[in-house]
Chain A
């Protein structure tokens, strides 16, 4: 088996330093191609730590933390960083889950109620549209809140404000990310017997990764701006 030795010592192509960095979808694909195994492990971690249901929100935040590190191409120590994030965000995550969960449930309830009503009378189309938009916005807001929280430690209300700002400022990449998440689950349902292991292997981590990827730009922008304001106000 000496011929295997080349396997350990063979040189790669090298990574050019000044090559223009990829952006958008190619970058997204590149990171997934590189980190897919980590994503699988992350997914298993997430599932493991979501089992005692109350920890599910914290596990969500921890998954987001790891995904954000991957997006930023920073070295990840999966287990260590995950556990740390789990502990750091436990409180906030629980509150987030309660509030955002309630809001989304109310929203969905309103949507289905108005949709049923709109079928009989066109008068209800307007409130239906409104509740649709509001629910969507709340979802975006909730997603942004997760990303803002795991990117920088800020007071709760400030994070809330900043994430609302982020969701308003550039909703498109985030919407695309949410669509990607939806596509993952639809794929799982459509190809059911074949895709039975999809949620166990990748759905959660890959979905969160898409959200982190979509939110990264605007979150950084919002945080940088608030930083600026703070430094201007202080002196």
Chain B
């Protein structure tokens, strides 16, 4: 088949069609969320689905701020997310530097042991962990969540793999030039690992922002709650205000989108400029 003077094989078309279909399926729930956020509760589950509401209820986007302390929840979530993300970036890249470029006894064993914890689902040990934290008196504090989430085996793994690709000679040249290990980490490794750091930022930001179980277990006071559990306040014993829930969800989604869109460029650029050429 020829399109715009180019020869295009049936295989290509099939691939594109598949990709488009998958994309649509992935995006459908978002579209539903958007449309539901502009509806009355009773219209939300009306069938067939009215994708573009004939009478969009913009009022939903006003009500969410007054019915629950949404601004406070957003503040709490932002605070947790930013602190956790920054801490994770620091601790991961710091530990990863040691695992990737330094020599110490039992390095690989230690690393494997640490990485193995990724395989253990959090649900398995969250209860004992909670009891431990309660012993420390950290129940109902943001500090508990920050302490738990500041370290991640996955982040260390990601950063280490990236650092492994940076030639050792670079560190050695820096040592001869007179840097100590901390300076090498700060002045050579960090600036070079922008693609990996932005990848990790996206992951961490999105997971922490969307985290439900963690705040659910640790935070019971309303003034400490995050958006994800705050949304539950729209659900009472007998009814749920789905229109408002969806509107609040859309608001909660915006920061994640911003972070993703602004950082994915670094991520994609780093991968593209290195992998494809040369």
Contacts and interface: CB of A to CB of B under 8 A. Distances in A.
Contacts of A7: 165, 270, 273-274, 278
Interface string B140-163: 000000000000000000000110
A1 B278 contact: no
Contact of A5 (B167, B270, B277): B167
Contact of A1 (B161, B170, B192): B161
Interface in A128-153: none
Interface in A25-62: none
Contacts of A9: 167
B237 to A, nearest CB: 44
By secondary structure, the A interface counts as helix
Contacts of B270: 7
A4 B167 contact: no
Contacts of A3: 165, 274-275
A10 interface: yes
Contact of A8 (B161, B167, B275, B277): B167
By secondary structure, the B interface counts as helix
A2 interface: yes
Contacts of A8: 165-167, 170, 192
Contacts of B167: 5, 8-9
A122 interface: no
Interface string A8-31: 111000000000000000000000
Contacts of A10: 277-278
Contacts of B165: 1-5, 7-8
Nearest to B274: A7
B235 interface: no
Interface in B241-278: 270, 273-275, 277-278
A107 to B, nearest CB: 42
Nearest to A9: B167
B162 A4 contact: yes
Nearest to A4: B165
A6 interface: yes
Contacts of B277: 10
B164 interface: yes
Contacts of B278: 6-7, 10
A198 to B, nearest CB: 16
A6 B164 contact: no
Nearest to A10: B278
B273 A1 contact: no
A9 B192 CA distance: 13
Contacts of A2: 164-165
5 contacts: A3-B274, A4-B165, A7-B165, A8-B192, A10-B278
Interface of B: 161-162, 164-167, 170, 192, 270, 273-275, 277-278
Interface of A: 1-10
